[in-house]
Structure 1
Amino acid sequence: MVLYSNEDRAVQLAREAVELVDAGHREAASRNLREAISLAPDNAEIKSAFVKIREDEETNHPLVNLCRRYVSQRDQEAGREAARYLRSDGLEPPQDVALECVKQLLAAPAATLSETQDEIITGLVRQSADVRLYFAAQLQICVTQFFDEIYDRGDGAVVCLDMVVLDTGLWQSEKVRTHCESELFQLFIAKLMESGHDLDGRALKGIARLLAMHADTLQHLVDEDGFDVILSSLDLRLPIDVRSQATLATAKYLEASQDEGQQLFRNFVTKRIARQRNDDFVVAFSAAAAVFPIMPAMAASLFLTEGFLQSLIPLLDRRQRTNNVWRAVLELFNAACMDGACREAIAKYCSEWLSHILSNGTDEQSARAAVVLAKIRTSEGASASAENSRVVEEENTSTQDLVERFKGLMSQQSSDISFRHPIEGLAYSSVKGEIKEQLSKDPTFLKDLLAVLKSNVDDSSILYGGLMIIWNLTKYRPNLSEEQKKMSELKAYANVSKPAGGAAFDPHDDDEHVKTRCNAVLDADIMPLLSECGKTKLVSVSVQDLTSKILLALSRNPKSRGKLAQQGAVKLLLSIVASRSEGNREMNETVYTAAHALARVLISVNPAHVFPASGFPQITEPIRPLLRLLTPAGATSSSASSSTFTPDQPRDLLPVFESLLALTNLASSADPTASEAIIRLGWSTIEDLLLSNHNYIQRASCELVCNLMTCEKGVGKFADGSVRAGQRLHILLALADVEDLPTRRAAGGALAMLTEYDAAVAAVLDSSNRAVAILLSLCGEKSEDLVHRGVVCVRNLAYSRDEVGKRAVSELKNGGAVEVLTTCLTQSKNPAVLQSGVEVLKMLVATENGKK
């Protein structure tokens, strides 16, 4: 058996392609050549064959033959081959060939060709500038005629009209382009109005795309009838892709038209309701539900208009089975619950009906009603006053019943039940402390929830709702200063607002309860789901934001950090930071949260276990985001509400402290690139933190500096002979003399490593007249660690070479080193201290006797 390499196979295909061209089989030759190029694109013989075939194609291109056979002979295989050719990389047709092909296709009536024409036309427009110029020229001749010629050929071909009219480089002037764009936009609206709505959403897609780009210049072309037909396409009975395009078009139009558009919307809803027909009710309520998230204030004002909600009461007659109307009402109520006043109105007028639907409606109706009731029961006003305590107790019981219903729906495998409803209901219900406990203590539910989310990771609504449930379970109260705590209590007592953090007085939300819930979520195996979310294409910012927050909460417990790192948390957090930092120098909230979670995990794990010697991720990757946590700019950019710190809203220094600890751990790695990168990217910030008036921050920054002394760049910062180096050394000596024991220990460790270099010894002696006294004071400490560091420093000074050594010995003797060391040796039991101390004493005594 002869085995061929890919390149041998590619060369053979190229030779066959040349022979096929010579024999007139150009289509087969093109297929062979495409495969050869994919196997060995840089091979010289393949390039030569490509040139030969390209020269032949200039006079008789295979794509022209394929399109001709597809159009004239209705050869479907030829059409599919032409589409495949246009999808191939590296084989773009010459401009004149593409133009000839598109003219062939457009010469045939759309109805006589298969759906493949859409794919071929789309490929030609995307690949050929001449074809796009041809489209622009045809639109200038007559927009209506060319629109009719293209519209029935498929979605892709219609998209090409938008693409061309939005490409300013194809037009002689902006005036001509905007005229054609306006004409095209009106044709889309007219096409939509022909039947009220198009089931494939083609016209709506064109309207939505153009409004998305130029709503300000096109909104005046939408009159009452045009907006009516767009809003009618929000009908919940229509396919979801149609409604999504209608939602986009509505949002862009309302945003651009402001008061005029809002008035048209109000007229649409009120007129439809006034007709008192079921179809009109469904359309009106569907439109109102869709607009609530777009313009909540405007939609809420309509909803709360006197008589509006009351007029719905007759529609809710239990004796009627108007399923579509009830479904539309439930959708409207669900959307309206985003407004507090609307929630209260629904609770006041419609609670009884919702309870009836909950018990007697279809499965879907019951699920929707349960979601609405959950939102009402968990609203802020549910426990506003003590006099409503009995009602609160009843509502709490009802909420727990609703939660059990949602959990039951989650466990059903029926295709008729959407997971969206129970997940949405649980997302709202789980803001209450007792519900959090109810869910977290049910391991079966947690595993079922994670399984549902993992199987629906591409469904953004289900995924976001599910992650919101997990976030509610794992969310800790915010870190408050003493002043903030007092202010929160005063506001709560004055009934001005809820305490900061939402549920500051809920006993189920103290740290111990949240820690237990975090452990339950981690035990349910949350990390595979979060990792899967990170791999999903086009993952949303909101999902990444929740993922970061969940990981930050889970990593608060040091005992959980190893498991998180082992299951890929570091890689996931680094990917979130990278994806949301690209091209954006400012630190947004998602990146800030992810960086903080990264810091927590990296505090407690061995860097060698997370960052392999060869592979991904590299140990230098987390350094930049960790350093950004140290700056005030990083903290302020994480908050959209304020760009400065105030006494009421001081800076949270916990991320700074934990970032310093993580950097210290990375600097302890045997890989010197970590320390070098920290010094290169963040030295000035770290140096500033050495002077922090916060004890823990100063301590952590000093410990980081100590670990950075293991590399040459770190030593150079203190011993390069510059004035700035001397100032730094002066600060380090001062830190070795502060009250905080860990800070003294870290500074002493740094000095012990620095003084191994003669240049550093000279710098120490020059930096302060108290330098020797400070080092000797370390030898007299009660802590064996400090004594060890002091003795090593003294030994390094005494054994320095040349003039530096003589000077050091002289200053040590003058400073009483012999007495200090003698006392130290009589009290210490540490062998390392005894050995170093004896060596120094011998040196000092020898010099006294003139033997040095």
Structure 2
Amino acid sequence: MSSADAPSPSASTPDAVLDAILKKTRDKAWLSFAPDELSTLLSAFSPALPVTTHTKGYLVLSAFCQRRRTELPKDDEAIPAICRAVEMPVVAAIADTDESEVLKGLTFLCALFDVDHPSATSIVLRDGFTEVIVDAFDFFPKSRRIHLAIAHLLGRAAGHKTSRALVSTDHKAWLENKSRQTQDAGLRAAAAVAMVKLARGASADAVEAGAAADPPAMEDAELARMMKSLVLDSAESSSVADAVEALAFMSSTPSVKDMLSKDSAFLSRLFSLIPRRKGAAIESLGDATSSPLYGTVIIISNISVYRPRLSAEEAQMAKLKRMAKAAKTSSESSTQPDDDPLDDDEHVKTRGERLVKGGVMEALTSAVRVSDSRAVHMLVGKAILSLVEDKSNRGKILQAGGAKALQTIIQEIVPAAKASDAGKTPQIDKEDFEPIQALAKLSITAAPVQVFGPNQGAIHDIIRPFSLMVIHPNSTLLQRFEAMMALTNLSSQSPEVADRIARADGLTNKVELLMLEDHALVRRAATELVCNLVAGSEEVFNKWGGEKNSSSKSKLQVLVALCDIDDTPTRLAASGALASLTASPDACASLAELQRERHRILPILGQLIDPSVVARPEADEGVDDDDTEELQTDPGLVHRGVVCVRNFFVGIQNKALQMEVASDANHAGLAHALVAVVKSCAQDTSSPLLRPAAETLKWLLEHGVELTV
């Protein structure tokens, strides 16, 4: 055989075998492993092998489990099929007396828990498996590698309700002993992670069953301090990873998150665990949810998160649930985390300030760059949403690239629309709106160029996500409000942007409905968006009355009605839209028809100018003026009112209708109000009010109205 035909030295290495299996997974008919392939896969997670081999092992194992679950969608079929392929060699390896074989079985089972925990649970709950683990304690009393693998396996099992039964009293005693020893920091951390998961799981199980949970072996504060010291002092990466994982579980407790946030040295060390460039660290598929990066982002998110904003109905339901739990359990076990004063808004705000000061944004933006994990990205979005709640943080978040990181996350959630997507509402979960909401908050309080940079394409790309947050049934009323505010800010950027917003599927129809919303802030935001779109988009201008159409009259009536509510910002927006629309003769004709039908248009427009002078229609029906609530006014309303009235009068083409409107205006007291406006401009001849007010008075004079100076 020639040297060219000889196999390469690396042909039988674990990496080469795993690469060959990965190629096979592309074949739709692939369903099983050859004996040598299975042997290599079982060994792939050994701590002696490099991380690259672990990664390939996770990919192969995940592909196999996914293939089986695709072929057999039901658990009672898929789980046995997966177990049949691996159970016998795994159990045999763990029951062996050779250390390397036992280690192979334990580490593979840990990996299976990461990839498909129901199948791993099925294996560990088989008769006699608990005793096999106890035997391993006895056979290898001084093997650090075996003890570490057992601690990791017990930790994986403790994380799931169905497999917690594996962890016996003997196991718990062993874990507590290993968590208190100080000779081996890595084993200490792994044992502590398992204890934390057991304690959290047992507490959740007890609440679900309506029983009191057993007291934990170690207090949260003691465990947290132990894990914090490991993060600060341990030089072993696996120990740090385990400590971070434990803190990721524990940092949902208010006292722990407050303690962690106060330690600037710990925060600095924690943030440094996130690589600053892609390729600096390799995350395997299975390790994505237990790596230091993932755990670090969980801790950040937990420290910064606010209590959920509940509606009145949701708050009442939560209260009823607490009362029901209190009736079943003792007062100690029924205490709710939501009641902890350390989790009130002021404490959360302070913790967020500490995080931002400590450099959290550099860590979060790096996490988005270096990780492709959706779970990581969604947690980053959640954390930034909490941090931007405090307006004083927003400038620092923008400076650190927070907006760019959010845009990257949002592109994964809401990919670019295709022509075939027109009219379809994509499936978006409630949690998916958190990064969109965070970017909306930034877009409300900063200029578009500060948020999106000089690239106009970035602004165009964000219109669809913001629009979806307005129209999607899974978004909250607060999210719709903030999305409309953000779109209002963007719409002032250019007519092109306003046109793109106007053309967003379903947006303008939804905004029209929200203009009638009972909530004053939501109604205001919708009206302000319409005002900007009327001014910036010809399409919206024509739809709202710029051209005569079947719905323009009713839309104008809505705007006039919104000029008459007790909310100055909404009145400013509605009257601003009318000021633009009355430049069209068609809009003026529709308003004239409404005035003839309801006699409300001129009184309402007049009240924008001077509510104390213009009579309201109710006074004509015998209602005492002293009993009517007088609307407030301001210079912006006066200016808009004068422009609206001037445009309205000039825009009426029919002579007979002109005389009728002039008479109505005189009856409503408009002439007196306009004279007062002109007098107020005597000391300021450059006032923008002077010319339209004078032109309006001239029109009234020409149509038979006598002025009283």
Alignment TM class, shorter chain as reference: 0.7 to 0.9
**Cα distance per residue 1:264-300 (max 9 Å; x no partner):** 5332333334444433322222222121122322322
1:285 aligns with 2:106: yes
Partner residue, 2:194? 372
Deviation at 1:628, TM superposition (A): 1.4
Distance 1:600 1:500 in 2: 36
* Structure 2 residue runs without a partner (length 5+): 69-77, 284-290, 612-629, 682-686
Partner residue, 1:217? 29
Q: Which amino acid aligns with 1:531?
A: T
**Percent of paired sites with the same residue:** 27
Q: Which amino acid aligns with 1:676?
A: D
**Cα distance per residue 1:1-33 (max 9 Å; x no partner):** xxxxxxxxxxxxxxxxxxxxxxxxxxxxxxxxx
Partner residue, 2:620? none
Deviation at 1:676, TM superposition (A): 2.4
Deviation at 1:605, TM superposition (A): 1.2
Partner residue, 1:249? 60
CA contact (8 A) 2:18 2:40 kept: no
Report the TM-score when normalising by structure 2: 0.79
Tell me which of 548, 569, 576 is aligned to 1:721: 548
Distance 1:827 1:368 in 2: 78
Q: 1:88-167 maps to which residues of 2 (within 5 A)?
A: 108-110=2-4, 149=5, 151-152=7-8
Partner residue, 2:588? 761
Tell me which of 313, 316, 328 is aligned to 1:486: 316
1:678 aligns with 2:501: yes
Partner residue, 1:505? 339
Tell me which of 605, 629, 647 is aligned to 1:796: 647
CA contact (8 A) 1:374 1:425 kept: yes
**Cα distance per residue 1:102-149 (max 9 Å; x no partner):** xxxxx9524xxxxxxxxxxxxxxxxxxxxxxxxxxxxxxxxxxxxxx4
1:402 aligns with 2:244: no
Report the TM-score when normalising by structure 1: 0.67
CA contact (8 A) 1:735 1:744 kept: yes
Tell me which of 325, 328, 345 is aligned to 1:495: 325
**Cα distance per residue 1:22-49 (max 9 Å; x no partner):** xxxxxxxxxxxxxxxxxxxxxxxxxxxx
**Cα distance per residue 1:578-633 (max 9 Å; x no partner):** 35433676354575332221111111113354456x5466543422221111112x
Distance 1:555 1:153 in 2: 55
Deviation at 1:154, TM superposition (A): 5.7
Q: 1:147-546 maps to which residues of 2 (within 5 A)?
A: 149=5, 151-152=7-8, 198-210=12-24, 212-214=25-27, 217-219=29-31, 222=34, 227-228=38-39, 230-256=41-67, 258=78, 259-316=80-137, 320-343=141-164, 346=167, 348-358=169-179, 359-379=181-201, 381=203, 384=206, 391=215, 395-396=218-219, 399-412=220-233, 414=235, 419-455=240-276, 458=279, 459=281, 460=283, 461-495=291-325, 503-536=337-370, 539-546=372-379
Q: Which amino acid aligns with 1:661?
A: M
1:699 aligns with 2:699: no
Q: Which amino acid aligns with 2:444?
A: I
Distance 1:220 1:387 in 2: 45
Partner residue, 1:49? none
Say what the alpha-carbon RMSD is for the aligned residues.
3.8
Q: Which amino acid aligns with 1:672?
A: P
Distance 1:428 1:527 in 2: 22
Larger deviation: 499-508 or 694-703? 499-508
**Cα distance per residue 1:54-101 (max 9 Å; x no partner):** xxxxxxxxxxxxxxxxxxxxxxxxxxxxxxxxxxxxxxxxxxxxxxxx
CA contact (8 A) 2:588 2:651 kept: no
Distance 2:358 2:457 in 1: 26
Deviation at 1:729, TM superposition (A): 1.9
Deviation at 1:701, TM superposition (A): 0.8
Partner residue, 1:554? 387
**Cα distance per residue 1:670-709 (max 9 Å; x no partner):** x333222222334344334334455433321111111223
Closer, same or farther: CA 783–483 of 1 in aligned 2, 3 Å: closer
CA contact (8 A) 1:602 1:662 kept: yes
CA contact (8 A) 1:235 1:286 kept: yes
Larger deviation: 263-272 or 714-723? 263-272
Partner residue, 1:602? 443
1:782 aligns with 2:631: yes
Deviation at 1:368, TM superposition (A): 1.8
Distance 2:554 2:6 in 1: 76
Partner residue, 1:87? none
CA contact (8 A) 1:778 1:790 kept: yes
CA contact (8 A) 2:602 2:664 kept: no
Deviation at 1:471, TM superposition (A): 1.0
Partner residue, 1:814? 664
Deviation at 1:418, TM superposition (A): 5.0
* Structure 1 residue runs without a partner (length 5+): 1-106, 111-148, 156-197, 637-650
Deviation at 1:332, TM superposition (A): 0.9
Q: 1:563-574 maps to which residues of 2 (within 5 A)?
A: 563-574=396-407
Q: Which amino acid aligns with 1:411?
A: L
CA contact (8 A) 1:430 1:472 kept: yes
Deviation at 1:345, TM superposition (A): 5.2
Partner residue, 1:11? none
Q: Which has the higher contact order (CA 8 A, sep 6+)?
A: 2
CA contact (8 A) 1:403 1:429 kept: yes
Distance 2:607 2:486 in 1: 30
CA contact (8 A) 1:772 1:815 kept: yes
CA contact (8 A) 1:378 1:432 kept: no
Distance 1:600 1:201 in 2: 47
Deviation at 1:662, TM superposition (A): 0.9
Tell me which of 456, 479, 487 is aligned to 1:663: 487
Closer, same or farther: CA 754–380 of 1 in aligned 2, 3 Å: farther
Partner residue, 1:136? none
Deviation at 1:473, TM superposition (A): 1.1
Distance 2:30 2:537 in 1: 64
Q: Which amino acid aligns with 1:813?
A: S
Closer, same or farther: CA 563–226 of 1 in aligned 2, 3 Å: closer
Distance 1:789 1:657 in 2: 25
Deviation at 1:656, TM superposition (A): 0.6
Deviation at 1:849, TM superposition (A): 6.6
Q: Which amino acid aligns with 1:754?
A: L
- SS of equivalent to 1:582: coil
Q: Which amino acid aligns with 1:631?
A: I
CA contact (8 A) 1:340 1:379 kept: yes
Deviation at 1:556, TM superposition (A): 1.9
Q: Which amino acid aligns with 2:557?
A: H
Partner residue, 1:28? none
Q: Which amino acid aligns with 1:203?
A: V
CA contact (8 A) 1:603 1:658 kept: yes
1:747 aligns with 2:561: no
Distance 2:644 2:656 in 1: 15
- SS of equivalent to 2:470: coil
Distance 1:245 1:728 in 2: 61
CA contact (8 A) 1:825 1:833 kept: no
Deviation at 1:825, TM superposition (A): 6.4
Partner residue, 2:627? none
